[in-house]
């Protein structure tokens, strides 16, 4: 039986004691920031890299660099509030485009339909997010973007290290690539992000120079320790209660609440850890891709998974743009994006903090409750 990792512990749920100690006591220096920037420029064939407080801040800087206020940018219809926040903070307008249920990405037919719904003269960009690490048909999207004069920005929050079908690595296609190093990401240092500018920018953007605020720095430093303690207490069903208490007193922050900040950068120790993880990713040549499936009654499935020792209830996909508490702010066009609405209602995605070999029973449970043909 798998020990439950309750209440969105994220990657901290799988930190070993040695990992926790290393995270707690790693000392970062200014040269670690420079080393990470050089590595990103080299790996992603860029001109410049900027380190940020989080992924949404990096994405916002990318959008500010290549677009004018009021421009329309195409966004995946199944996404997170962080993407919406980045678009709006850059003074742009999001155009949500529906997705395919096969890979959770938009395809050409949906892009064409989306473009018909707006004045195409104002559409200037397209954000590729490769949902849950499933790569989009990049050649088709590139062709579409070229035909319509759209600048591609790649959001690598889900897909660092993943390759497209043509062999190119995600992050080496668009004008810029934005990264998140937050909880449960491929590169996970608890917080932090970056952006790599691969093409000449239209507008110079100011690189964040301020260090993280002390509370943010401490939360990032101690989160793996809290996760390990909660994991241990889950033997007696107290881990989730402790984590909820830590959130309530702001010693732990939900990822969605990690606000955009264009003045602050990643911590030096996190930059050091991020570079180490990137180098490991380079050697392995692989990146975790989240499995997903559609079930009839997700709440019932989550309860059954919990009884078997699996805790998937940290999922943030309950609305097309999640988390749910921010959904009303987005004014999402549900009628134009029926697949996105369906996916948000029925999807179960498998957290990356479980080894694939440990998920056999979970897969059987999910398969038993899968959406039947004709009920879609």
In this prediction, residues 57-85 reach a mean pLDDT of 97
- For the chain, which residues make up each domain, given as ranges? 27-197
CATH match of 27-197 with 3.40.640.10: yes
Share of the chain above pLDDT 70, in %: 92
In this prediction, residues 78-98 reach a mean pLDDT of 96
Q: Per-residue pLDDT for 4 more than 50? A: no
- Which carries the bigger pLDDT value, residue 207 or residue 350? 207
Band of pLDDT at residue 375, cut at 50, 70 and 90: low
In this prediction, residues 331-342 reach a mean pLDDT of 96
Band of pLDDT at residue 5, cut at 50, 70 and 90: very low
Q: pTM, whole model, 2 decimals? A: 0.92
pLDDT at 343: 96
Lowest mean per-residue pLDDT among 102-111, 150-159, 241-250: 241-250
In this prediction, residues 30-41 reach a mean pLDDT of 98
- Which carries the bigger pLDDT value, residue 266 or residue 307? 266
pLDDT at 373: 67
Lowest mean per-residue pLDDT among 68-82, 176-190, 248-262, 321-335: 248-262
Residues 340-349 have pLDDT tens digits of 999 999 999 8
- Which tokens in the block code for residue 175? 């004008």
Q: Distance between CA atoms of 59 and 198, rounded to whole angstroms?
A: 14
Q: Per-residue pLDDT for 41 more than 90? A: yes
Q: What is the mean pLDDT of the chain?
A: 89
pLDDT at 288: 62
pLDDT at 310: 81
Residues 140-151 have pLDDT tens digits of 999 999 999 999
pLDDT at 291: 87
pLDDT at 6: 42
Q: Per-residue pLDDT for 204 more than 50? A: yes
Q: Per-residue pLDDT for 352 more than 90? A: no
Residues 164-185 have pLDDT tens digits of 999 999 999 999 999 999 987 8
- Which carries the bigger pLDDT value, residue 52 or residue 13? 52
pLDDT at 11: 44
For the chain, the three-class secondary structure string (H helix, E strand, C coil) is CCCCCCCCCHHHHHCCHHHHHHHHHCCCCHHHHHHHHHHHHHHCCCCEEEEECCHHHHHHHHHHHHCCCCCEEEEECCEEHHHHHHHHHCCCEEEEECCCCCCCCCCHHHHHHHHHCCCHHHEEEEEECCHHHCCCCHHHHHHHHHHHCCEEEEECCCCCCCECCCCCECCCCCCEEEEECECCCCCCCECCEEEEECCCCCCCCCCCCECCCHHHHHHHHHHHHHHHHHHHHHHHCCHHHHHHHHHHCCCCCCHHHCCCCCCECCCHHHHHHHHHHHHHHHHHCCCCCCCEEEECCHHHHHHHHHHCCCCCCCCCCCCCEECHHHHHHHCCCHHHCHHHHHHHHHEEECCCCCCHHHCHHHHHHHHHCECCCCCC
Share of the chain above pLDDT 90, in %: 70
pLDDT at 8: 44
């Amino acid at each position: 039986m798998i020990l439950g990792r309750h209440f969105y512990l994220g990657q901290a749920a799988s930190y070993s004691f040695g990992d926790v100690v290393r995270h707690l006591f790693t000392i970062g220096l200014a040269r670690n920031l420079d080393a990470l920037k050089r590595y990103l420029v080299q790996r992603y064939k860029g001109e410049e890299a900027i380190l940020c407080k989080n992924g949404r801040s990096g994405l916002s800087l990318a959008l500010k660099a290549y677009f004018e206020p009021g421009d329309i940018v195409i966004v995946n219809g199944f996404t997170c509030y962080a993407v919406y926040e980045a678009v709006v903070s850059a003074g742009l307008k999001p155009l949500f485009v529906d997705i395919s249920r096969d890979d959770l990405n938009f395809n050409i037919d949906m892009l064409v339909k989306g473009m018909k719904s707006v004045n195409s003269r104002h559409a200037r960009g397209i954000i590729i997010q490769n949902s849950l690490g499933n790569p989009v048909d990049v050649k088709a999207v590139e062709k579409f973007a070229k035909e319509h004069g759209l600048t591609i920005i790649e959001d690598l929050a889900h897909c660092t290290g993943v390759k497209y079908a043509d062999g190119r690595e995600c992050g080496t296609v668009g004008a810029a690539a934005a990264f998140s190093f937050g909880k449960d990401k491929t590169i996970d240092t608890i917080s932090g992000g970056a952006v790599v500018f691969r093409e000449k920018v239209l507008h110079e953007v100011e690189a964040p120079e301020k260090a993280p605020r002390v509370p943010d720095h401490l939360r990032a430093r101690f989160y793996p320790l809290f996760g390990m303690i909660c994991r241990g207490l889950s033997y007696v069903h107290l881990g989730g209660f402790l984590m909820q208490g830590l959130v309530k007193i702001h010693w732990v922050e939900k990822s969605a609440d990690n606000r955009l900040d264009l003045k602050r950068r990643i911590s030096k120790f996190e930059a050091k850890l991020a570079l180490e993880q990137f180098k490991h990713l380079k050697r392995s040549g692989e990146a975790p891709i989240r499995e997903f499936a559609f079930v009839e009654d997700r709440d019932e499935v989550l309860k059954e998974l919990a009884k078997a020792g699996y805790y998937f209830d940290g999922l943030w996909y309950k609305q097309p743009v999640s988390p749910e508490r921010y959904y009303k702010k987005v004014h999402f066009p549900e009628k134009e994006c029926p697949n996105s609405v369906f996916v948000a209602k029925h999807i179960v995605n498998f957290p990356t903090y479980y080894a694939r070999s440990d998920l056999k029973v979970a897969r059987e449970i999910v398969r038993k409750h899968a959406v039947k043909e004709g009920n879609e």
